[in-house]
Structure 1
Amino acid sequence: MLTKLRSFLIRSIKNKKLNVFGLFFLLAFVILVLSKLSKQYTETLTVGVNITNLPEDKILTSKDETVLKVRVTTYGFNLFGSYFYDKTVPIDLKNDAYVYNDTYVWLANRAMSKVESQFGNSFEIESIQPDTLFFPFGTLSVRKVPIKLNSSIAFASGYDTLKGMVLVPDSIKIIGSDTEIKAINYVETSELSLLNIKENINTTISLELPEEVSTLKLSQNDIVVTAEVQKFTEGTLEIPVVINNLPTDIQINYFPKTIKVSYEVSLNDYKSIKPSDFKIECDYLEIEDANKSYFTPMFKKVPTNVKRVKMKQNKIEYIITE
């Protein structure tokens, strides 16, 4: 027991000595820091700019971030404190800049008083670099362009959509400088990736502008994409072939007289599709002008509620009988 007590007392004494040493070390460090901060220093600070007074019908076309290197002389206390709050320099384009060749030109010496007031009386401004800033601008214009869907969509087996993907809206207004918007022919969506689709689609998707025209704005930032998804099946019908523009003094015999047509249709509309809903024609002028030995059949009428319509035969043979 006595041995344990003695060990405890020895540890306590040692810890006390250590605490006293630490206190003196801390006081010495504080005194050193205060002596350093009480001296004057000349340093270069990097600050951003805040553009003000840009006319409503103008837009800046530069994408580069603008910063100033401000060389200042001040006491260490002030310099240390400057790292904890923003010293963004305001640039008034109306009063502190002039226009030259569609560019606002800002001169540091003309705006020196505003820079000094931003830093305060405790800072002495030695220099500002660069001493001239250029802000190219364009006249604000509006143009309406179509929206292009960027999608990767896979329907489940037997399922499809008759009308395809519907975009609401299907076009968008782009707002920016007249020179930049002329280069934009459409606006693309972010990628829409859907797999094994069996149900109707109704989703919101964002619009994306190319990085090189990031100064442009859109009248809205997203659109709605919808699609009516149905169960589809394949149908086939025999459709009669009609010869057009046949001269009255010529008779021909052609074959086949009908062509088998395949198509895809929703199960709901399957029974409503009839041969009369289709029309296949051949034009006599085709063989008269080109001296061909066969007709090329063409669809002249197809039901609006079917898709992927195909003829099983793409030639009609003929013989002139008179």
Structure 2
Amino acid sequence: MSTTKSKIGSFGGNRHTLTFVVCLCVSIFLWALLKLSKDVFREVSVGVRITNVPTDKFVSPLQKNSMKILVEGNGLSLLRLYAENPSLTIDFNDLQPLGDDRYRLSKTSREKLSNSYLSRFRIRNTISDTLLVKLEKKYTRKVPVLVHLNVNFQREYQLTELKVQPDSISVSGIKSAMDTLQKIDVYIKKKREVKSNFTEIYKPKNTDFVSYGANRIRIEGIVDKVSERVIRVPVELHNVPEGCQIKIFPTEVPVLCTGDLNLLKGLRTEDIHVVADFDQWQEKSTLPLSLTTPKKRIKLRFLNEKSVDFLMKRQ
């Protein structure tokens, strides 16, 4: 009996303690909310991004700038300011040069910043107005776009044409970045087997080191249900040495053509070029063959011979 009474007394004591703790937490929360709702002044340091630099220059990405400013706002806005870590954007034309890559905010720029807002915080004043801005020479050149396909096609279907627009992009940046940028790689992967045309959009992202002259690249894959046709094509001789007479064996080779049936029906021997080029001769008794066609959506490959034998007679 005494044990039961002690448990009841303990429960009653715990209940009073719990009530006290809850009331204390609510009071602290309301007090904090009241404090955070009041306007305060704070000196904060924020990052700076420089825009509209001279067209032949680039702001060195190794140079990071920050500025101390006096802001006004409630405590909730202050918490959001620290969480978001915003930055100021300053026009290069609003800076006054001081020498040695140092610049100062102009009077107009300071007035523009004052009473503007940064992440719901009102900027009241600039504590520091001097920035170190190192400009590097901008290098520009065209860089090709290289598409890497990881695509499987359904049976009897194949990629017959890949259109890339643009197929090269003008890229600008600092020398160290441009020296290593030889191409723009675009990777396309399809989880399912493909039997129809597909389109992908790739958006190059500007960085602190390089900027791209195009904001999107369109890749279109033309997929056809394919048939096959074999055409015998005569071999063309190019760059025959002067004063030499050449005989090749064989004089024509079979070429396997794959593509849409309607396109294959209209394909002529004259549309296919099999070339034996003496500029590719490597002191052997054979000449390698190359295979081209101006026709779109047709794929070619040698059925048997990839080279021809030849006899050379000097005149």
Q: Fold-level match, TM-score > 0.5?
A: yes
Give the C-alpha shift of residue 282 in structure 1.
6.2
**Aligned residues of 2:63 and 2:134 also touching (Cα < 8 A):** no
Which of 197, 201, 204 is the aligned partner of 1:200? 197
Change (3 A) 1:242 1:159: same
For the Cα contact (< 8 Å) 1:283–1:295, is it kept in 2? Answer: no
From the superposition, tell whether residues 55 and 19 of structure 1 become closer, same or farther in structure 2 (CA, over 3 Å).
same
1:270 is aligned to 264
| CA–CA separation in structure 2 for the residues paired with 1:238 and 1:220 | 44
Question: Equivalent residue for 2:109?
Answer: none
CA-to-partner distance for each residue in 1:255-295, whole Å, 9 max, x for gaps? Answer: 545433333233222333344544657689999x96x6x45
In structure 2, the CA distance between the partners of 1:299 and 1:29, relative to structure 1 (3 Å rule), is closer
Equivalent residues of 2:48, 2:67 under 8 A apart: no
Identity %: 16
- How many pairs does the alignment contain? 277
Distance 2:302 2:181 in 1: 37
Deviation at 1:65, TM superposition (A): 5.0
Could you tell me which residue of structure 2 aligns to residue 84 of structure 1?
Answer: 79
Preserved CA contact (<8 Å) 2:273 2:292: yes
Distance 1:54 1:286 in 2: 52
Which of residues 169, 172, 183 in structure 2 aligns to 1:172? 169
Counterpart in the other structure of 2:287: 296
Is 1:310 the counterpart of 2:305? The answer is no
Mapped to 1, the partners of 2:168 and 2:193 lie a distance apart of 28
Amino acid in structure 1 at the alignment position of 2:79: F
Q: Is the 8 A contact 1:173 1:219 kept in 2?
A: yes
SS in 2 for 1:165: strand
Please give the root-mean-square deviation of Cα atoms over the aligned residues, in Å: 5.8
Structure 1 residue 199 displacement after superposition: 0.4
TM-score computed with the length of structure 1 as normaliser = 0.56
**1:261 corresponds to:** 255
Which structure has the bigger radius of gyration?
1
Unaligned stretches of 5+ in structure 2? 33-41, 106-112, 116-121
Distance 2:150 2:203 in 1: 15
Conservation of the 8 A alpha-carbon contact between 2:45 and 2:66: yes
Q: Structure 1 residues 167 and 301, CA, compared in 2 at 3 Å: closer, same or farther?
A: closer
Structure 1 gaps of 5+ residues are 1-5, 34-43, 73-77, 108-114
- In the alignment, the residues of structure 1 paired with residue 199 and residue 293 of structure 2 have an alpha-carbon distance, to the nearest angstrom, of 28
Separation in structure 1 between the aligned mates of residue 213 and residue 278 of structure 2, nearest angstrom: 53
